[in-house]
Amino acid sequence: MTGNARTTKAEHIRHLLETEGDAVAANTQGFNDGRYESVADLEDYEALKEEARAIKEDAIERLPDLVDELREAVEENGGTLYLADDAADANRYVRDVVADVDGDSVVKSKSMTTEELELNDALEADDVEVVETDLGEWVLQVADEAPSHIVAPAIHKSRESIAELFTEVFDPDEDLETAADLTMFARRKLAEKIVDADVGVTGANFVTADSGTMALVTSEGNARKTVTATDTHVAVAGVEKVIPSVEDLAPFVELIGRSGTGQDITSYVSLLTPPVGSPTLDFDADETGPAADREFHLVLVDNGRMDMREDDDLRETLYCIRCSACSNSCANFQQVGGHAFGGETYSGGIATGWEAGIEGLDVAAEFNDLCTGCSRCVNACPVGIDIPWINTVVRDRVNRGEDAEFDWLVDGLVPDAEPAGLDPQKRLFGNFSTLAKLGSATAPVSNWLSDLSVSRGLMERFVGVDRRRDLPTFQRETLREWAADRPPVRNPDRQVVLFPDLYTNHVQVERGKAAVRALEALGVAVRLPDVTASGRAPLSQGMLATAREHATDVADALVPHVEAGRDVVVVEPSDYALFQREYERLLDEDRYETLADGSYEVFEYVYGLLANGADADALADGSGERVAYHSHCQQRTLGVETYTEAVLDDLGFDVVTSDVECCGMAGSFGYKREYYDVSMAVGEDLATQFSTDETVDRTVVASGTSCLEQLDDLLARPSKHPIELVAP
């Protein structure tokens, strides 16, 4: 990406933050909060998610057979199933259906698949009027805008802007001020179109192979009107929507509304086995006709999906149930919405997989870097899709400029070097290990040089490092050098290996020293291995080959210690998450499991020591010191953030914990010129929370490197790692 391209993207994001950001943030955060409340009422939430995933895994595995079974069911019901190869094929078929009934007008309920196909444009080219009956979709159709959200397409528009739009376009007799006014006005307008329509087009959330039953989940009931008010019903769905049986719908009905909008169940869950049995309607003659006159066509769309099914890394995308939980839970999406964090059709974290598989890597590349790999979306996803991994794999493929065949991956070949044409920005951040070693070796000169205005200008122009962001200060003495001179602990109760991640070893050395002192005070002998680069930096840039090399080096260094009975303690949460999650993708199974089972986040380990009899008096006495604490997002997704709070409380600290889920920094993300503004926008909530009367005079602590950097930029007072509070 050139400097001009970075500037253009930064300007686009800044525009969205100013014009759409408030509405998107309010709505997505509301949906996300609702999800937390709604799923809390489910005793078997995780079991439901596992069941839903198992159904999708099975369905995608048996997809060709299920399609054959579905065809028999649809035809036995009196309908027709057409399997379309691509968008052009699907559109041709639907156009022919409309032409065969001399259709002049089509009404549609909400359907992402028809958005993907650009069906409206295809029908309008035949002089067919197409009207969206979903309120949000109709608003955007009137405004001639693209959706910004999978479930709530007009999420970026305020009530006032919609009222202004309707007034400008329709010049209504009455003023449209309230949400009820707008809804009733739209309902009257759409009712006229539905009554006059010749063909009704719907999507389908799920289609069951055993009976040909479709499940339609809506908030307005417009899908039912679209089906029953027209004599010809065309349902368009991606082939991945097929599941084995009606019984398999149960977990999805429980999960889809809760995951997407925080509703225990969506307003309308319609199970239709078309052609539906209701009479045909002649509104002009005010009479009904026989139900047998109804016509039904199910158009199942491939459009790249079967190739995705054969791709080991993109296949999980097909498990997606289009609930939007990944969007609602994503801090970056909450700020900019799908007009930045989205492609031709799909938006949010899962969009990378869809757009890469359907449109191609060039489309996915336009927004892929907005995913920071924080993994919050994985816990939110009702089928547990590893969305960050899909984004990382696509990023790697974009780096390599590969086409849709991905032969090197399919053949199981692992490249031994990154491509020569790799974006200089990604090469810089992905090779932070080299930069850190050089920075420490030449400090303080390196820090002085990097902070010169001319240096900052050059870095911003050529590698896109935003000059407004403070750069890390490298320490001359690394943690490993400091620890080498430490006297050994006599008669230790345990032995551990403290992993000195790059920042702890070269930049935030004090937190590393504090971790050593705290562990030693609790009777633990501490060793530091001769490896510091975990692979997190290159992984975040989509440099998978380099990440695998680092992961292999870490495993070579640490696995023998674990096998010898020594625990691994990790200070940096993102590296701990790497050991627990991503190394499963980067290492062989045995070494991954050994390292995952044998490693602990530092406060998780301290908590365990204290719970098993270690002397808490050996650590610092909090004596009521007032502390404001922010945990790292990956601590939260792994469920280990509570250990820090528990230890601080036990030692007598007065702790207020942030409920803000993301600081916005996200490693290198916050340094990049094109994303600096969204990074700071995400951080505003945290800054506000730590600047209230209750928190403004508290010591600020945070567990993650990125969190500490962001807090230092957001607040006028310094921050530190909580281990620095408890170390003697």
Q: Summarize pLDDT for 463-504 with one digit per residue, the tens.
A: 999 999 999 999 999 999 999 999 999 889 999 999 999 999
Predicted confidence at residue 417, as pLDDT, reads 64
Which residues of the chain does CATH 3.40.50.10420 include? 42-132+197-303
Superfamily of domain 310-410: Alpha-helical ferredoxin (1.10.1060.10)
Residues 265 and 686: their CA atoms lie apart, in Å, by: 32
Q: How does pLDDT run across 217-250, given as a tens digit for each residue?
A: 998 889 999 999 999 999 999 999 999 999 999 9
Of 238, 215, 200, residue with least CA distance to 112: 238
Would the pLDDT of 267 be above 90?
A: no
As a whole-number percent, the residues of the chain with pLDDT over 90 amount to 90
As a whole-number percent, the residues of the chain with pLDDT over 70 amount to 98
Q: How does pLDDT run across 674-713, given as a tens digit for each residue?
A: 999 999 999 999 999 999 999 999 999 999 999 999 999 9
Instruction: Give the burial string for 625-662 (b: 16+ CB within 10 Å, else e).
Output: bebbbbbbbbbbbbebbebbbbbbebbebebebbebbb
Residues 412 and 396: their CA atoms lie apart, in Å, by: 15
> What is the pTM for the complete model shown?
0.94
Which residues, at least 6 apart from 472, have a Cβ–Cβ distance to it below 8 Å? 439, 503, 507, 709
Predicted confidence at residue 277, as pLDDT, reads 81
Taking a C-beta distance cutoff of 8 angstroms, is the pair 375, 408 a contact? no
Taking a C-beta distance cutoff of 8 angstroms, is the pair 341, 352 a contact? no
Q: How confident is the model at residue 414 (pLDDT cuts 50, 70, 90)?
A: very low
Residues 149 and 339: their CA atoms lie apart, in Å, by: 9
The single residue listed with the structure tokens 């999980």 is 316
Taking a C-beta distance cutoff of 8 angstroms, is the pair 370, 537 a contact? no
Q: How does pLDDT run across 584-619, given as a tens digit for each residue?
A: 999 999 999 999 999 999 999 999 999 999 999 999
Q: How confident is the model at residue 405 (pLDDT cuts 50, 70, 90)?
A: very low
Q: How does pLDDT run across 506-515, given as a tens digit for each residue?
A: 999 999 999 9
Q: How confident is the model at residue 4 (pLDDT cuts 50, 70, 90)?
A: confident
Distances from the Cα of 364 to the Cαs of 136, 252, 305, 404, 714, in angstroms? Answer: 25, 28, 16, 12, 32
- H or E stretch at 199: strand 199-202
Residues 350 and 400: their CA atoms lie apart, in Å, by: 21
The single residue listed with the structure tokens 């509703």 is 263
Which residues of the chain does CATH 1.10.1060.10 include? 310-410
Residues 593 and 559: their CA atoms lie apart, in Å, by: 10
Taking a C-beta distance cutoff of 8 angstroms, is the pair 610, 569 a contact? no
The single residue listed with the structure tokens 């969305």 is 387
Q: How does pLDDT run across 428-464, given as a tens digit for each residue?
A: 999 999 999 999 999 999 999 999 999 999 999 999 9
The three-state DSSP-derived secondary structure of 493-543 is CEEEEEECCHHHHHCCHHHHHHHHHHHHHCCEEEECCCCCCCCHHHHHCCC
- Assigned fold of 42-132+197-303: Rossmann fold (3.40.50)
- For the segment 289-317, the average pLDDT, to the nearest whole number, is 94
Would the pLDDT of 525 be above 60?
A: yes
Q: How does pLDDT run across 91-140, given as a tens digit for each residue?
A: 999 999 999 999 999 999 999 999 999 999 999 999 999 999 999 999 99
Taking a C-beta distance cutoff of 8 angstroms, is the pair 313, 410 a contact? no
